[in-house]
Amino acid sequence: MAKKRILITGASSGFGRGAALGLAKKHHVTAACETWQQVTTLRADAQEAGVKLDVVKLDLLSPIDLARAGAADVDILVLNAGVQENGSLVDVPLELVRRSFEVNVFAHLDLAQRIIPGMLRRKSGKVVWVSSLEGIWAPPYMGVYAATKHAVEALASTMKAELNPHGIGVMTVNPGLYRTGYNETGAETPGQWEPLKEKVHLPFPDSAAKLLLAAEHDPQPMIDAMVEAIPDPKSVYRLMLPEDAVVEAKAVQALEWTQRA
């Protein structure tokens, strides 16, 4: 497989970090992190791992950072960064809902609009949207996050239909529950704003967080699958792991045709 130029957002931790370090063994990877501290840390991690990694700062809410990243000429764009806000849809502050869409959806579409024209000129390339099991399923108290990932699914599907005729591939990566620290962070978010509200109609239950975290898997198999699929021009369109997530997603999709209001 020819060496590819790959840009990955949200590479400071979790799947982004793992995929960046793994892909850098065979490809030229630009790993984008939100803060300068994360940039410094990831550079040190890459050096310790013995791989060459170009690490840059990309706060997706910064126009300057977006302009710098959008000037990159890459073969594969991996849209991985994200935030997870948990809580009931009756209660989550709208400013946090808007921020979730700005980071998970709008800023990534902005970045894609800057980079894809170069792919169109070359008639080659690939766009990888990192979605989630929640891109298919919308569980209680995760509606905001699920809504952003449902939007990602729509963008990826449409983009595939528009770009495939021009030699550009599109895929989604849909992790289930993995032990990356991401779900733990999401479970903490209601505790930041619930005490500030005059009334919380549907408080985030402790049992929801416990069930979520108890079902997590070792992330390495997902990372390994990403490292293999991202540079593969013939990869599957939707990469979802582990198998229990696939079973759950298909069951939810079937239920939508039979359940009552």
Domains of the chain from N-terminus onward: 5-255 (3.40.50.720)
Residue with tokens 């983009």: 159
> Which one, of 53, 155, 54, lies nearest residue 108 by Cα?
155
Element (H, E) at 102: none
Percent of the chain with pLDDT over 90: 95
- pLDDT reported for residue 123: 98
What totals of helices (H) and strands (E) does the chain contain, helices first?
Answer: 11, 7
Residue 252 predicted with pLDDT over 80: yes
- pLDDT reported for residue 1: 76
DSSP assignment of 173-231, as one string?
Answer: EEE-SBSSSHHHHHHHTHHHHGGGSS--SSPPPHHHHHHHHHT-B-SHHHHHHHHHHTT
The predicted model gives 121-145 an average pLDDT of 97
Alpha carbons 92 and 10: distance in angstroms, whole number: 24
DSSP assignment of 36-49, as one string?
Answer: HHHHHHHHHHHHHH
Global pTM value:
0.96
pLDDT tens-digit map of 94-120? 999 999 999 999 999 999 999 999 999
Q: What is the mean pLDDT of the chain?
A: 96
- pLDDT reported for residue 250: 97
pLDDT tens-digit map of 53-82? 999 999 999 999 999 999 999 999 999 999
**Helices assigned H by DSSP within 24-164:** 36-49, 63-70, 94-101, 107-122, 143-163
Q: Give the burial class of 234: count Cβ atoms within 10 A of its Cβ; 0-12 exposed, 13-18 middle, 19 or more buried.
A: exposed
- pLDDT reported for residue 95: 98
Q: How confident is the model at residue 41 (pLDDT cuts 50, 70, 90)?
A: very high
Alpha carbons 244 and 241: distance in angstroms, whole number: 8
Distances (CA, A) of 255 to 139, 258, 260: 13, 5, 10
pLDDT tens-digit map of 176-229? 999 999 999 999 999 999 999 999 999 999 877 777 777 899 999 999 999 999
